[in-house]
Structures are given as C-alpha cells and as structure tokens.
Amino acid sequence: MTGPSVRRKLLVVEDDEMLQELYRQLLEMLGYDSVILGRAEEAIQALSTEAVDGVILDLVVPRETGLPVHEWIAQNRPDLLRRAVLSSGDFTHPEIRSFTARYDIPKLVKPFGLADLSDILARLFADPEDAPGA
C-alpha cells in the first residue's frame, strides 16, 4: 500500500491507549502524520490552533461522545466536514444512528486493519484538487 504523495496530517480522537498506538503505527505506515488525543475537549482545542487535513473521531471517549467534536467542526471548521471519519465498534446506538443518518460521514468499524484504514483514507482524500494543509 502506498501513502499520499504529500504527507497529510490527521487528528485522531481516541481514548484507548492501545488503539492510539495502533493508529500512530498504521498512519505512519500509510505515510500520514498524526496528532492523537484522548479527549474531545483536547481535540477542539487542537482544531482551533493546528492545521490538519482530516479527523478520525472515536464515538466513545470518557464521559462523552465524539459527536460534539463533529458539531464543533461543522460550526468552526466546515472545511474539515468532508474529511472527517467516525470510528466505533457499535453504530447501532440510537443517538449515533440518528446522527449518522443526518450526516454522510464515512465510518471506520472497529476492529479494523491496515487495509480498512487505507481504503477509508484513500476515499477521504480522493479529490486531487484537495491540497494538504488547507
């Protein structure tokens, strides 16, 4: 598998430390830089100050879901809406089903592997006009 021709930077919101390390390793293998955070509030702070090309949001982080981060992106960084991915092992919760019905957001279903992550990122950045760091 080949990575992007220009390195892109992804923000990953994931509270599980083992999965944080998995993301870090897989994204590095795929040729992406990453900022990996464990809490929604940290992600919102980072999104307000850092240039990132895409976001992977775990739907279940401590005492909250990743949905408020997506809502913050919609209000404050709408350019990232088409470059956001939701990640979860369960997309059947009523709140999550309602949310995903309203938005056309790619889903990364846990457990996932290198090919799954590579495929979803390839689709996310398929537009050749989509320059990194935008």
Residues 53 and 35: their CA atoms lie apart, in Å, by 11
Mean pLDDT computed over every residue of the chain: 87
pTM, full prediction: 0.86
CB distance 48 to 22 below 8 Å: no
What pLDDT band is residue 134 in, cutting at 50, 70 and 90? Answer: very low
Of 128, 129, 133, residue with least CA distance to 80: 133
* Domain presence at residue 1: no
- Count of domains forming the chain: 1
Percent of the chain whose pLDDT exceeds 70: 87
Q: What is the CATH number of the domain that holds 78?
A: 3.40.50.2300
Q: How much is the average pLDDT of 50-59?
A: 93
* Domain presence at residue 3: no
Task: Label residue 64 exposed, middle or buried (CB < 10 Å: 0-12, 13-18, 19+).
Answer: middle
Which range of residues forms the domain containing residue 62? 9-124
